């Protein structure tokens, strides 16, 4: 190869930017990511191509519009937006399950019997119906009621009571009824976890399909 041909080949390699697995240059990839995140075409173009920051609008906007209409760029933007949306759904499902678990934990702890202590920390004694004396115990009914009420509202329970304006949907419940409500909350949490797992599996399948199409 002559020196002239070698110089020409070298110049062509310099002019041709490398592309990623999606067939985009790093500037096109940056432009696509910015568009997917909600930036405008013009703003994304200026950030991805710093040399365009001094361009006039009549030059910038057509260039940004043309790039956004490119098939590979548009496909990448669509894929990125789908990923962002799915991540938001997963996070929302996870957050809801987390809150429900914490409310259930609070309710269970409030229902646990705790010894009644005097100001000095000594147990308070109470008389039984048979004349005996035993330590007094109590549980935090207000805390349990509030936690269970939030769980019920989240899952559409006790709608009729809410509509007629009665406060404290759990106030008239017995201990057994409160514990049954906790069991129902367990079932709700299990369903939320299952949905989160299904969503993650679905996201993985969609990513695999997208990757196979891209290749």
Tens-digit pLDDT profile for residues 33-61: 999 988 999 999 999 999 999 999 999 99
**Any domain includes 51:** no
**Any domain includes 40:** no
**Any domain includes 33:** no
- Give the pLDDT band of residue 158 (cuts 50, 70, 90): very low
**Any domain includes 174:** yes
**Any domain includes 3:** no
**Any domain includes 185:** yes
- Give the pLDDT band of residue 161 (cuts 50, 70, 90): very low
Per the structure, the count of domains in the chain is 1
Q: Which residue has the higher pLDDT, 198 or 30?
A: 30
188 contacts: CB under 8 Å, gap ≥ 6: 100, 151, 155
CA distances from 180 to 50, 102, 103, 136 (A): 63, 17, 15, 25
First to last CA, the chain: 34
In percent, the amount of the chain with pLDDT more than 70 equals: 50
Statement: residue 18 has pLDDT above 60: yes
Of 13-17, 145-149, 181-185, the range with the lowest mean pLDDT is 13-17
Statement: residue 10 has pLDDT above 90: no
Statement: residue 171 has pLDDT above 90: no
For the segment 90-137, what is each residue's pLDDT rounded down to a tens digit? 776 666 676 677 667 666 666 655 566 777 777 767 777 777 766 665
Of 95, 196, 106, 194, give the one whose Cα is nearest residue 150: 106
Global pTM value: 0.41
Task: Quote the tokens at residue 86.
Answer: 């799915």
**Any domain includes 23:** no
**Any domain includes 156:** yes
* Stretch 14-28: mean pLDDT: 82
Domain that holds residue 97: 83-214
The predicted pLDDT at position 115 comes to 64
């Amino acid at each position: 190869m002559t020196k002239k041909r070698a110089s020409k080949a070298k110049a062509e390699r310099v002019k041709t930017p490398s592309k990623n697995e999606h067939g985009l240059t790093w500037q096109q990839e940056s432009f696509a990511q910015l568009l997917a995140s909600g930036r405008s075409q013009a703003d994304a173009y200026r950030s991805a191509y710093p040399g365009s920051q001094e361009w006039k609008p009549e030059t910038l906007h057509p260039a940004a519009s043309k790039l956004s209409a490119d098939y590979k760029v548009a496909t990448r933007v669509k894929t990125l937006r789908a990923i962002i949306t799915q991540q938001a759904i997963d996070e929302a499902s996870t957050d809801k399950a987390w809150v429900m678990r914490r409310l259930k934990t609070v309710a269970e702890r409030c229902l646990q019997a705790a010894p009644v202590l005097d100001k000095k920390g000594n147990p308070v004694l109470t008389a039984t119906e048979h004349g005996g004396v035993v330590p007094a115990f109590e549980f935090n009914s207000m805390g349990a009621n509030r936690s269970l009420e939030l769980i019920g509202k989240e899952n559409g329970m006790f709608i009729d009571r809410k509509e007629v304006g009665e406060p404290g949907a759990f106030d008239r419940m017995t201990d057994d009824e409160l514990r049954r409500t906790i069991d129902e909350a367990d079932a709700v949490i299990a369903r939320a976890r299952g949905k989160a797992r299904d969503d993650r599996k679905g996201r993985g399948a969609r990513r695999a399909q997208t990757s196979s199409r891209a290749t």
